[in-house]
């Protein structure tokens, strides 16, 4: 189990990739153009608002990771029918060991896969980047700013590994 440290908490408030700012329509339009030009092998969204927005607007998506919350407040569950739903327990401020297995398996499946998190999904962006195949795209919402896009390559994987190394690591009890 990895635990977020106070100094990392502040650092991780900054975008981990390319920030797309603007209205929701502008963000979705730019995101769609980016997807068409990059043609990622897998597209993974982390967060309820961005996942719902992408699904409702018909953007391609392979895996969406949600916790039925937005800004830590309960939100309406996403009604899109996934081909597979996987469940994961991940308390706030942590990355549980099981996250690697569940998200890793989700990225290998065909169709639309929902990973439903009991707890909090924010830090699972790190796991998604590390388990996704290279040339994938991980997208997450940046509160009150827009959407962050991470193109998965060796450089972004190395950056996520450096973040993990700075987290407190404890065996799960």
Instruction: Convert the pLDDT of each residue in 17-37 to its tens digit.
Output: 999 998 888 999 999 999 999
pTM of the model: 0.94
How far apart are the C-alpha atoms of 70 and 141, rounded to whole Å? Answer: 10
pLDDT score at 85: 96
pLDDT band at 63 (very low <50, low <70, confident <90, very high): very high
| C-alpha Rg value of the chain to the nearest Å | 15
Compute the half-sphere exposure of residue 10: CA atoms within 13 Å on the CB side of its CA. 2
- Distance separating the N- and C-terminal Cα atoms of the chain: 9
Model pLDDT for residues 133-166, shown as the tens digit of each residue: 999 999 999 988 999 999 999 999 999 999 999 9
Both structure tokens of 52 = 């719902």
């Amino acid at each position: 189990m990895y635990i977020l440290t106070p100094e990392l908490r502040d650092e991780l408030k900054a975008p981990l990739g390319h920030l797309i700012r603007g209205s929701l329509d502008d963000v979705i339009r730019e995101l769609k153009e980016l997807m068409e030009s990059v043609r990622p092998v897998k597209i993974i969204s982390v967060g309820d608002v961005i996942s719902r927005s992408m699904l409702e607007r018909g953007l391609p998506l392979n895996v969406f990771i949600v916790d039925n919350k937005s800004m830590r407040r309960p939100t309406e569950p996403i009604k899109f029918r996934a081909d597979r739903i996987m469940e994961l327990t991940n308390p706030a401020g942590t990355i549980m060991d099981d996250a690697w297995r569940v998200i890793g398996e989700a990225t290998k499946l065909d169709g639309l896969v929902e990973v439903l998190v009991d707890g909090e999904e924010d830090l699972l962006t790190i796991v998604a980047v590390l388990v996704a195949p290279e040339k994938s795209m991980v997208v997450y919402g940046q509160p009150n700013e827009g959407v962050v896009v991470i193109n998965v390559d060796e450089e972004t994987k190395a950056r996520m590994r450096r973040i993990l190394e700075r987290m407190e690591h404890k065996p799960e009890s």
